[in-house]
A and B are shown apart, each in its own frame.
Chain A
Amino acid sequence: MTAAPLAAVRAPWPVQTALVTRRWLVDGVRMPWGLGVSVIQPVVWIVLFGSVFKAVTQVPGFGHASYLTFLVPGILMMTMLYSGAWAGTGFIDDIRSGVMDRLLSSPVSRSALVAGQLVQQLLLSLVQGGVLLLIGWAAGARYAGGPGGMGIALAASLLLAAAFCSVSAAVALTARDQTALIGISTLVVLPATFLSTALMPVALLPHWVEATARFNPLTWATEIARTAMSASVDSGVVVTRGLLLLALATVTYAWSVAAMRSYQRSL
């Protein structure tokens, strides 16, 4: 044999995860239209929703002086929801091309394959979120909570993104079909948006929507961002909703790793 095996032990889990993250980051940079759309989309939402619902501040019970200031935290979380819903498409591409077979027949940790892609998605989400807050500010929204409040809002957005990216990965690894993933994502994402407080305060929602919105992770994340970026932070909301999002992200990540193992068992 002319060449020797590369290493006596496989790469540690964090190194494998970082390598997988790097691969997806490079892939993302080489598909610039994807990055462009992910930044343009929330800007369109701010303009559209900001214009259409502008007059809502005059409705009794709205309780906020500026709809844009009210709207930006909601759009931030909607962005996480919509971006996260597509996260699984990369796995389907890998399954179809044969990349997944090569990776699974090598001594690579299955959870590193899932975690590496999730970290890439979260880095992308962080950039998206930061850009969105800047654009919102430029459009006229104001964040009385300052940098600390913005930091809390971004942290909440990452927990929400982690949960939805993981769900998308799990669905992708189970359905293994782009059309199915798109269909399921559309089915979930649009109702989740309108059954939350992302666009309207809870006081203006019909009773049954209000009751449903309480159990919606989009509402939890939006409430954190809204209070954190306001002049008076309700730490109870930040802690309770934050713990709920953390629990959801943990459970959905475990589901996505289980889906990867289940995918292999089905081969």
Chain B
Amino acid sequence: MPSTLAVEAHGLVKTYPGRRGRPPVQALDGLDLAVPAGTVHGLLGPNGAGKTTTTKVLTTLSAATAGTAKVAGHDVSRDADAVRRAIGYVSQGTGADPLLTPRENLVMAARLRGAGRAAADERARELLARMGLHDEAGRRTSTLSGGTRRKLDVALGLVDAPRVLFLDEPTTGLDPEARASMWQEIRSLAADDEVTVLLTTHYLEEADRLADAVSIVDHGRVVATGSPVALKADIGAASLEDVYLHHAGRAWDAEAIR
């Protein structure tokens, strides 16, 4: 396994100010993370644990209140533009303009990142073929099925050949067939393209099957990290549910909100 770290975070804190008389919300509370390059790393935790906030800080969307983080060797706060060049981000929502076609979305994303017209067309063609979107390339995105739109979102994340790809709940709402297809693509990204994938998910099975290592996030901190096999072996657990119960002190509930 490569030894260089593609993502490293130390003591990340993110506090959202309270609004309308409510107390401030501490979304991250000293989160540490180390993700070797070329691996799939799962950020695991129920809704509200701090997974999406971690992703937002690492993708430069959001500034941490305290702590430091580097992505692809660049500091997220001091060198945000270099981080943005090195990453792809697939958020929980769709990243595609619903009125444009998949091809138009991809060409525009490539051109915004500095590609000329011909290079952008070529990149769009490659990604449409890779994601099996060729037949839908000229249809309006709003008319595509959920699984096809999610593939387009991943293609948009890959448009600038990122070194690190952030996938935030990539399979939520997908049917089993579309989910299996997405898993295959994620595996191939790390194995064949040497892309580091940081995957946030509240599906334990997904993390177990896909990730080289997982970090269990609870109340804004990483409470356990390691390969799924090692985490289970350490405590003699049969599943990641048991690992979660052991480290978080309560049963797994994907819908739990802090």
User: Residues of A at under 8 Å CB distance from B?
Assistant: 1-11, 15-16, 19-20, 22-23, 26-27, 30-31, 96-99, 101-108, 264-265, 267
- B97 pairs with A101, CB closer than 8 A: no
Q: Could you say which of A9, A11, A97, A101 contacts B112, with CB atoms under 8 Å apart?
A: A11
- A5 pairs with B61, CB closer than 8 A: no
- A23 pairs with B192, CB closer than 8 A: no
Known contacts being A2-B193, A23-B108, A99-B96, is A9 close to B114, with CB within 8 Å?
yes
Q: Which of B39-87 contact A (CB under 8 A)?
A: 56, 59-63, 81, 84-85, 87
Query: Counting CB contacts under 8 A, is B98 at the interface?
Result: yes
Q: How far is the CA of A5 from the CA of B60 in the complex (A)?
A: 19
Query: Counting CB contacts under 8 A, is B104 at the interface?
Result: yes
Interface-central residue, A5, A10, A265, by most chain B CB under 10 Å:
A5
Q: How far is the CA of A7 from the CA of B122 in the complex (A)?
A: 14
Q: How far is the CA of A10 from the CA of B62 in the complex (A)?
A: 21
Inter-chain contacts of A101 with B (CB < 8 A): 61, 89, 91, 93, 95
Inter-chain contacts of B95 with A (CB < 8 A): 98-99, 101-102
Closest partner residue, chain B, to A102 (CB atom): B95
Inter-chain contacts of B63 with A (CB < 8 A): 265
Q: Could you say which of B100, B108, B111, B161 contacts A5, with CB atoms under 8 Å apart?
A: B161
- A4 pairs with B113, CB closer than 8 A: no
Inter-chain contacts of A105 with B (CB < 8 A): 59-61, 84, 87, 89
Closest partner residue, chain B, to A11 (CB atom): B114
Q: Which of B81-134 contact A (CB under 8 A)?
A: 81, 84-85, 87, 89-100, 104, 108-115, 119-120, 123, 126
Q: How far is the CA of A3 from the CA of B160 in the complex (A)?
A: 8
- A10 pairs with B161, CB closer than 8 A: no
CB distance from A95 to the nearest CB of B (A): 9
Q: How far is the CA of A114 from the CA of B210 in the complex (A)?
A: 39
Inter-chain contacts of B167 with A (CB < 8 A): none
6 more contacts with CB within 8 A, not counting A27-B100, A106-B89, are A6-B120, A23-B100, A31-B99, A99-B93, A106-B112, A106-B160
User: Can you name 26 A-B residue pairings with CB atoms under 8 Å?
Assistant: A1-B161, A1-B193, A1-B194, A3-B193, A5-B85, A6-B110, A7-B115, A9-B114, A10-B85, A10-B114, A19-B112, A27-B97, A27-B99, A96-B93, A97-B94, A97-B98, A99-B96, A101-B89, A102-B89, A102-B156, A105-B59, A105-B89, A107-B85, A108-B112, A264-B62, A267-B56
Inter-chain contacts of B163 with A (CB < 8 A): 1
